[in-house]
Amino acid sequence: MTLRLYNTLTRRIEPFAPLTPGRVSLYTCGPTIYNYAHIGNFRTFLFEDLLRRWLEASGFEVFHIMNLTDVDDRTIAAAAGRGASLRAHVDPFARAFEEDRDWVRVVPPHAQPRATDFIPAMIRLIQVLLDKGVAYRGEDGSVYFAIARFPAYGRLSQLDRRELKAGAGERVSADEYAKEDARDFVLWKAARPEDEAVGAAWDAPFGRGRPGWHIECSAMALELIGRHWGIDVLDIHAGGVDLIFPHHEDEIAQSCAYTGREEFARYWVHGEFLRIDGTKMSKRYGNILTVRDLREQGVEPGAVRLLLFGTHYRQLLEWNDDALAAAREGSARIGAFRDRLEKSLAGDDDPAAAAAAERFRSEFTEALDDDLNAPRGLAALFDLVREGNRLLDGGTRVGPAFAAAWAFADRVLAVAPSARTLTVPAGALPVEREDGIPVRPPEAAPAELADQETWALHWAAVRAAEKRDRNFAEADRIRDVLRRAGWEVRDRRDGSIEVVRVSGSVVAH
Ligand SMILES: [Zn+2]
């Protein structure tokens, strides 16, 4: 085991060794459920998913915590804006997040704490910080962390010490703020009428109020690793680069001041941003892309994963139509090979097949061990697919060793389509006519999958003919007939037609 990870704390790639051999505690900051998570958020969740999967594939027992932030400045503002209670506003977004997460095949965490379920743990933590004199109650009734009392403050984000001195004694009460605002930050915000109105206020010995965003992660992480393994230091803490300051810096200050430990997490791992068509994704540019948008566009989750893993997690990722088209192509190619492999497995591997499998395993392992180099891992997978096709073309026997190599890659990357995609070139769907009307298959889909494929292709041909005859309403009706049976028909720009099985997937994941 020689996994190496880039640690933001030291700005170096370091060999990974957990505190207890064989066991890894992993905390990843989850979504703020005031709205749908976008593809930029999911880039982070997917790199964390890759980390989790790779740790497990490498033999570690992982305890993974990912929180849901259901109380902070943004959730309260969003609930108040709609005149809803906090809970009523965030609950549907919590469910939507889980749906999106499952769709894009992110393995669910072992614990998914919601901040509002851990208020007592937060209050306990803040009380200890008050008792230790590293926190104080401001004249506004809120409780603040005194960064001057924590000498290691700024270590993670490498804040300049002089900058810090300039800000000492001043306070910031917003959940999010810039590096230039490095000053005492809020642990507990005194209740305002707006908070009371949405049900976001709790009693505490130091006054009625609600937690600051940063304390939430510290309290939930410490509480859960304490319960699970009786520990108070995390092995790995991960998130997007935008969380380094202030969120993670503040998490470290609170947690270490509380536990008295030198570290809150031993490895801090951060993923880079994503840009769409060369622009930062933001409400202002109206280019927010969500996972549900992609799902509605009929994009395969495997293709989304392939696109996101095609750029190393520490590099800026460019999302555009070309990249998506290439990823869909690549994922389909991998899926086609999987289908071929399933049908071709017979007896033992020919030595050539066993050697190809062995070569793949070592290349793939080397790539992922090298700071999760997924682009190189993908290249190894495409080599395996190419080699597998070549061997099968030549009649070489491909057996369990080769299949195991394929399954290993699939378990870690999960970039194959969940669907069966039949691509029909332009004009290649002849259709019989009676009295000028295209002959139709039955409306009900056959039970057997192979028959269903023929049936779906037949309907796709009828639909194409109806479109040529300009019967667009009938073409739309046929699309619905197929959809009800779990098939999606898509007209591609080059004139070809894709008929995709989108539900009741043939190969289980
Ligand atoms: Zn967090």
pLDDT value of residue 448 = 72
Are residues 430 and 465 in contact, defined by beta-carbon separation less than 8 angstroms?
A: no
pLDDT in tens, 437-482: 899 999 998 877 677 888 888 899 899 999 989 999 999 999 999 9
Which pLDDT does position 1 carry in this prediction?
A: 56
pLDDT bin (cut points 50, 70, 90) of residue 509 is very low
Q: How far is the CA of 214 from the centre of ligand 1 (A)?
A: 6
For residue 239, how far is its CA from the centre of ligand 1 (angstroms)? 8
- Give the separation between CA 424 and CA 497, rounded to whole angstroms: 5
Tell how far the Cα of 269 is from the centroid of ligand 1, in angstroms. 13
Q: What average pLDDT score do residues 373-394 get?
A: 97
Task: Provide the token pair at 504.
Answer: 């009741």
Of residues 331, 308, 307, 340, the one with CA closest to residue 382: 331
Q: How far apart are the CA of 250 and the centre of ligand 1, in A?
A: 10
- 394 compared with 181, residue with greater pLDDT: 394
Distance of CA 341 to the CA centre of its chain: 29
pLDDT at 504: 41
Q: Say how far apart CA 371 and CA 367 lie, in whole Å.
A: 8
- Residue 391 Cα to ligand 1 midpoint, Å, equals 48
Omega before 211 cis (within 30°)?
Answer: no
Ligand 1: centre distance to CA 402 (Å): 41
189-201 pLDDT tens trace: 999 999 999 999 9
Helix ranges (DSSP H) in 67-149: 73-82, 86-103, 119-131
Give 458 Cα–ligand 1 centroid separation in angstroms. 52
CA of 18 to the centre of ligand 1 (A): 21
At residue 163, the pLDDT reads 63
What is the pTM for the complete model shown?
A: 0.83
pLDDT mean across residues, the chain: 92
Average pLDDT of the segment spanning 276-284? 88
Backbone phi and psi for residue 245, each to the nearest 5 degrees, phi listed first: -130, 135
Buried b (16+ CB within 10 A) or exposed e, 62-94: bbbbbbbbbbbbbbbebbbeeeeebbebbeebb
* Per-residue model confidence (pLDDT) at position 417: 86
Tell me the per-residue pLDDT of 106-147, one tens digit each, with 9 for 90 and over: 999 999 999 999 999 999 999 999 999 999 999 999 999 999
Is the pLDDT at 505 greater than 50? The verdict is no
Using the mean position of ligand 1's atoms as its centre, give its distance from the Cα of residue 45 in Å.
13
- The full 3-state SS of 396-430, as one line of letters, equals CCCCHHHHHHHHHHHHHHCCCCCCCEEEECCCCCC
Spatial separation of the C-alpha atoms in residues 494 and 490, rounded to whole Å: 11
pLDDT digits (tens, 9 = 90+) for 411-436: 999 999 875 667 777 677 778 899 98
Confidence of residue 169 (pLDDT cuts 50, 70, 90): low
Task: Specify the higher pLDDT residue, 163 or 369.
Answer: 369
Q: How close is the Cα of 418 to the center of ligand 1, in Å?
A: 32
Most confident range (mean pLDDT) of 245-249, 276-280, 482-486 is 245-249
Q: How far apart are CA 445 and CA 490, in angstroms?
A: 18
Ligand 1 centre to CA of 74 (Å) is 14
- Residue 424 backbone dihedrals phi, psi, to 5 degrees: -115, 120
Percent of the chain with pLDDT over 70: 95
Which region, left, alpha or beta, applies to residue 377 given φ > 0 means left and ψ of -120 to 50 means alpha? alpha
d(CA 84, CA 501): 39
CA of 217 to the centre of ligand 1 (A): 5
Q: Is the pLDDT of residue 506 over 50?
A: no
N- to C-terminal Cα separation, the chain? 26
